[in-house]
Structure 1
Amino acid sequence: MTDYGQDLLFGTFVTPTAQPARYAVDRAVLADRVGLDLVTFQDHPYQPSFHDTWTLLSYVASRTERVTVAGNVLNLPLRQPAVLARAAASLDLLSGGRFELGLGAGAFWDGVEAMGGRRLSTGHAVDALAEGIGVIREIWTADRRGGARFDGDHYRLHGAKRGPLPAHDIGIWVGAYKPRMLALTGRLADGWLPSLGYLPGGTADLTDLNKHIDEAAAEAGRDPAAVRRLLNVGGRFTAQAGGFLDGPPQRWAEDLAGLTFEYGTSAFILADDDPAAIELFAAEVAPATRELVAAERSR
C-alpha cells in the first residue's frame, strides 16, 4: 500500500464542446458553486467542435471565484512553451493563483500536422516535452538575473526576458502512460494525470506505473511523494452497489479512498458532464472520501 500523504482534491473533466457555446462554462460555474477544487478541459486545437481550451480556461477563470482551472492536458506541440509560460503566469496572476498547468507530449499527429505543427516520433515527442518544461520554468524564474537561456534540440531561448512571476508555484501535471513519459514525470513534473479508462488493466496498472515514477524521482534526488497522483475517473451513480465506481455515493467514497491508500491517488477528476452527477460528486462523494482517508491516516 502506498499513501503519499497529499491533501485530497476533487474536480471535473468537462467536455469543451463549442455548441451550445456556454455548455462547458455553465458546468464549470456549477463546479465552483458546489465547492469542487478543480475544473479541467481536454485540449485538441485541431478539433473544431471544441472551444479553444486556453480561451475557455481564461473565460472560466473570470466567471468563477474559488475553483482552480487546468488543461487536461494541454497539447504542447501546438503551444509554443515560452509563450505558454507567460500565458500561464498571466492567468495565474489574474485569477489569484487558480491555475495549474497540465501538459501532454501530443498524440493525434495527423491533427497536429494539419494545423501546422511538427509530426514527431514518440521518442522526440518525449524529449520535446522535457525541453518544453525546462523552457517554461526558465521563463517563470522572474527573480533571477539575466535573460533566460535554454539550448535544446526542439526549443531554445536566447536571452528572453523572464517573467511575469506567477501568483503561486504553478504545478506542472503530465499526462503519461509509457515508461519514458513516466520517467520524465518522476524527474521533472509536479503531478501525474492519467485517465483510468485508458489503463487496460484498470486500477491494477497503477502499481507498475507508479513504480516507474517513483524510481525516476528517486534517481533524480526527488521525494516521490512530491509528485501528486491525479486520476480522471468515471462511473455510475446507482441505488445499488455494483462494480468499481458503480453504486451510491458511499460506495464511490470507499472506492476512491481505496485508491488513495493502495496507489497514492490524491486528486479525483470526474469525467461526467451531467450536472446532477457533478453536484452529487461534490456534495456527498468528496466529503465522505475525505472523512474515510482522514480516519485511516489518523490511525
Structure 2
Amino acid sequence: MPDYGHDLLFGTFLTPTAADPQRVLALAQLTEDVGLDLVTIQDHPYQPAFLDTWTLLSVIAARTSRIHVAPNVANLPLRPPAVLARSAASLDALSGGRFELGLGAGAFGEAAVAMGAPKRTPGESVAALEEAIEIIRSIWRHDGGPVRIDGKHYRVWGAKPGPVTPHEIGIWLGAYKPRMLRVTGALADGWLPSSFYAGPEQLAGMNKIVDDAAAEAGRDPALVRRLYNIGGSFSGTGAEFLTGPAAVWAEQLAELTVIEGMSAYILASDDPDTIRRFAAEVVPAVRELVDQERAGGDGAWSMPEAPGTAFGVTPTPDDGDRLSAERVWNEDDRPAGPAPEAGRVYTAHEQASGRHLIDVHDHLRAELTELRGLIEQVAAGSLEAGAARSHINTMTMRQNNWTLGTYCESYCRVVTTHHTLEDRTLFPHLRRADSRLVPVIDRLEAEHVAIHGVLERVDQALVALVAGTAGIVELRKAVDLLTDALLSHLSYEERELVEPLARLGSH
C-alpha cells in the first residue's frame, strides 16, 4: 500500500473510569501538555463503571485549548444520528473546531439493547450506519434545506441543518469486516482500527478493501485517513509489535506510514509515564523518519542515513570466567573474520543492526540470570522443580532450538521489521556477501546446535530431580555448563558479526 501523504497525528485513547474522574481529566490535560494532537475516549454507554463519553469530551474540550477530541468510537445504536450530528457540531463550535467523530456500528449488542437500543443483526447494523452517515452529513450542511431521509432504520423528515461547524468534521469508522471496510472506503473520512483486533500484518489486505471501495465509489483512496489505535511496552527485545525500546516503536510506526499508509497513532494507555515517553521519544523519531523518507524515498522503505560516525557499537566482552570444568567446545580454534577496514566510519543506520543483535543477546543474558535464580529457588525448597521446568520451557532460549532457521527468524524480527521473515535470513546473506565470513558462520551454527544439547541436559537434570533419581548437584552442574557456553557464544558472535552487520547489512 502507498503512503497517502497525510500529516502525522499522535494521540491517546483513554478509559473513562468513573471511579476517578479527575485522573481521566489529568491524563487528557497531559496529552495536550506533552504536545500530542488528539485525545480520544472509548464509548460504552451501557458500562456503569464508565463516565458518559460525550459529557467527558465536553469537559476535556473546555479544559484544553489546542488538542482535538473524539469518541473512539461513538456507539451509534445508543446515539440517534440526528441528535449525534447536532451534539458533534455543538462541541466543534464550542471548542473552536477541535472535534472529530469516531463512529461505530455498535458492539456488545445485548448490553446496548438492555439500555434501549434496537436489536439488529450485523448486516442491519451496517445498513443503519450507512443511513446514519447520510443523516449526519445532511445536518452538518451549512447551506442545505430541510433534511428528508426516509431510511429503513432511521427517518428524519424536515429537520433543519445546523449548527454551523467551524471546521469540516471528519467521520472515522471503526471497521474490521469486509462490508464495514467497504462502507469506510465509500463514505468515511477515516478508518480507525485497533492493533489489538487488526495486527500490522492484516492492514495491507484491509486497506485494499477500503481502497477498492473508494475507487468504485469514484473517490480518491487518499481521501480516507488511516488511523491506528496502538498499545505496547517499552520493555522487551522488539521481537513483537511495539515491545521494546522507543527506537523500535519509531521504526515500526514509520514503516506502517510509508508502506501501509497509516498516518495517525493513538496510544491506548492510562499510564502517565508511558504517555510522556511516547510523546518525548517515539513521536519525534517517527516524524523524522517519515519526513526523511518522504523527502528522498523511492517508494521502497529504507531507514534514513545519519551522518557517518566512528563505529560506536561495542561487543560484549568475554570475561573468561568459567563455572564448570567441562567444556562444550574448544574456544582456541574458533575462526575469525576479516579485520575491520582502517578508518572506516559507519552511519547510525549501519550501526543499528549490530545494536539490535546485542539487544537480543542482552535479553538472553537476562533470561540466563532468571534461570539460575529459579534453580536456587528449587535448591532452597521455595519452588517445585516441576514448576521451574514449566517456566523455563516458556523462555526464549528454550523456545529457540538454536538451529539456523529458528534463530534467524527470531533475530531478523528484531533487526528488521520491514521484510518478511520467511524470505530473509541473516547467515545466508552474510555468506553470500563476504565469503571470508563462511568459516565464522559455520562455527556459529555448530555452536547453536551444541547449546541446544546443553539445554536438553538442563531439562533432563530437572526431570531427574522431579523423579528423585538425581539431586540438585547435577542440575547445578548442567546450568553452570549452560552459563559458560551461552555467555561465551554470545560474546564470540558479537565480536565477529557486529562489524560485518554494519558493513554488509542484515539482508
Q: Give the structure-2-normalised TM-score.
A: 0.58
Q: Which amino acid aligns with 2:207?
A: N
Identity %: 62
Deviation at 1:72, TM superposition (A): 0.5
Q: Give the aligned partner of residue 160 of structure 1.
A: 159
Deviation at 1:241, TM superposition (A): 4.1
Q: Which amino acid aligns with 1:73?
A: V
Deviation at 1:243, TM superposition (A): 2.8
Alignment map for 1:85-104 (pairs within 5 Å): 85-104=85-104
Tell me, in whole angstroms, the C-alpha distance in 1 between the residues paired with 2:125 and 2:23.
32
Is 1:235 equivalent to 2:226 in the alignment? no
Tell me, in whole angstroms, the C-alpha distance in 1 between the residues paired with 2:2 and 2:210.
13
Deviation at 1:165, TM superposition (A): 1.3
Tell me, in whole angstroms, the C-alpha distance in 2 between the residues paired with 1:239 and 1:147.
57
Deviation at 1:23, TM superposition (A): 2.0
Q: Give the aligned partner of residue 125 of structure 2.
A: 125
Per the alignment, in what secondary structure is the counterpart of residue 113 of structure 1? helix
Q: Which amino acid aligns with 1:265?
A: M
Gap change, CA 1:241 and 1:215, over 3 Å in 2: closer
Is 1:9 equivalent to 2:9 in the alignment? yes
- Rg larger in 1 or in 2? 2
Is 1:116 equivalent to 2:116 in the alignment? yes
Tell me, in whole angstroms, the C-alpha distance in 1 between the residues paired with 2:118 and 2:224.
29
Cα distance per residue 1:151-181 (max 9 Å; x no partner): 1111122111111111100000000000000
Q: Give the aligned partner of residue 248 of structure 2.
A: 251
Tell me, in whole angstroms, the C-alpha distance in 1 between the residues paired with 2:146 and 2:266.
38
Q: Give the aligned partner of residue 181 of structure 1.
A: 180
Q: Give the aligned partner of residue 58 of structure 2.
A: 58
More helix by percentage = 2
Cα distance per residue 1:33-72 (max 9 Å; x no partner): 1110010011000000000000011010001111100010
Deviation at 1:119, TM superposition (A): 1.1
Per the alignment, in what secondary structure is the counterpart of residue 168 of structure 2? coil
Gap change, CA 1:80 and 1:274, over 3 Å in 2: same
- Which of 285-294 and 155-164 deviates more? 155-164
Residue correspondences, number: 296
Question: Which gives a bigger RCO, structure 1 or 2 (Cα 8 Å, sep 6+)?
Answer: 1
Tell me, in whole angstroms, the C-alpha distance in 2 between the residues paired with 1:30 and 1:281.
12
Cα distance per residue 1:200-227 (max 9 Å; x no partner): xx21111110011000000000000100
Tell me, in whole angstroms, the C-alpha distance in 2 between the residues paired with 1:91 and 1:196.
28
Tell me, in whole angstroms, the C-alpha distance in 1 between the residues paired with 2:4 and 2:237.
31
Conserved 8 A contact 2:193-2:227: yes
Is 1:197 equivalent to 2:196 in the alignment? yes
Per the alignment, in what secondary structure is the counterpart of residue 96 of structure 1? coil
Tell me, in whole angstroms, the C-alpha distance in 2 between the residues paired with 1:184 and 1:241.
35
Tell me, in whole angstroms, the C-alpha distance in 1 between the residues paired with 2:168 and 2:275.
28
Q: Give the aligned partner of residue 78 of structure 1.
A: 78
Is 1:263 equivalent to 2:260 in the alignment? yes
Q: Which amino acid aligns with 1:277?
A: T
Q: Alignment RMSD, CA only?
A: 1.0
Tell me, in whole angstroms, the C-alpha distance in 2 between the residues paired with 1:91 and 1:168.
11
Conserved 8 A contact 2:139-2:161: yes
Q: Give the aligned partner of residue 148 of structure 1.
A: 147
Q: Which amino acid aligns with 1:126?
A: V
Gapped runs of 5+ residues in structure 1? Answer: none
Per the alignment, in what secondary structure is the counterpart of residue 62 of structure 1? helix
Gapped runs of 5+ residues in structure 2? Answer: 297-507
Deviation at 1:240, TM superposition (A): 5.1
Deviation at 1:142, TM superposition (A): 2.4
Is 1:293 equivalent to 2:290 in the alignment? yes
Deviation at 1:88, TM superposition (A): 0.4
Residue among 220, 224, 239 paired with 2:221:
224
Tell me, in whole angstroms, the C-alpha distance in 2 between the residues paired with 1:243 and 1:13.
21
Cα distance per residue 1:104-125 (max 9 Å; x no partner): 0011111111001111001000
Tell me, in whole angstroms, the C-alpha distance in 2 between the residues paired with 1:103 and 1:239.
34
Q: Give the aligned partner of residue 488 of structure 2.
A: none
Q: Which amino acid aligns with 1:189?
A: A
Per the alignment, in what secondary structure is the counterpart of residue 263 of structure 2? strand
Q: Give the aligned partner of residue 30 of structure 2.
A: 30
Cα distance per residue 1:221-277 (max 9 Å; x no partner): 000010000000111113854432112212111110011112100000001111001
Per the alignment, in what secondary structure is the counterpart of residue 100 of structure 2? strand
Tell me, in whole angstroms, the C-alpha distance in 1 between the residues paired with 2:218 and 2:227.
22
Q: Give the aligned partner of residue 277 of structure 1.
A: 274
Tell me, in whole angstroms, the C-alpha distance in 1 between the residues paired with 2:113 and 2:183.
24
Per the alignment, in what secondary structure is the counterpart of residue 197 of structure 1? coil
Q: Which amino acid aligns with 1:161?
A: K
Conserved 8 A contact 2:236-2:243: no
Q: Which amino acid aligns with 1:259?
A: L
Q: Give the aligned partner of residue 48 of structure 1.
A: 48
Q: Give the aligned partner of residue 207 of structure 1.
A: 204
Q: Which amino acid aligns with 2:96?
A: G
Deviation at 1:143, TM superposition (A): 1.4
Q: Which amino acid aligns with 1:118?
A: P
- Which of 231-240 and 168-177 deviates more? 231-240
Following TM superposition, the consecutive aligned residue runs of length 4 or more in structure 1 with deviations greater than 6 angstroms are: none
Is 1:39 equivalent to 2:39 in the alignment? yes
Tell me, in whole angstroms, the C-alpha distance in 2 between the residues paired with 1:243 and 1:120.
37
Tell me, in whole angstroms, the C-alpha distance in 2 between the residues paired with 1:98 and 1:119.
33
Q: Which amino acid aligns with 2:277?
A: L
Q: Give the structure-1-normalised TM-score.
A: 0.97
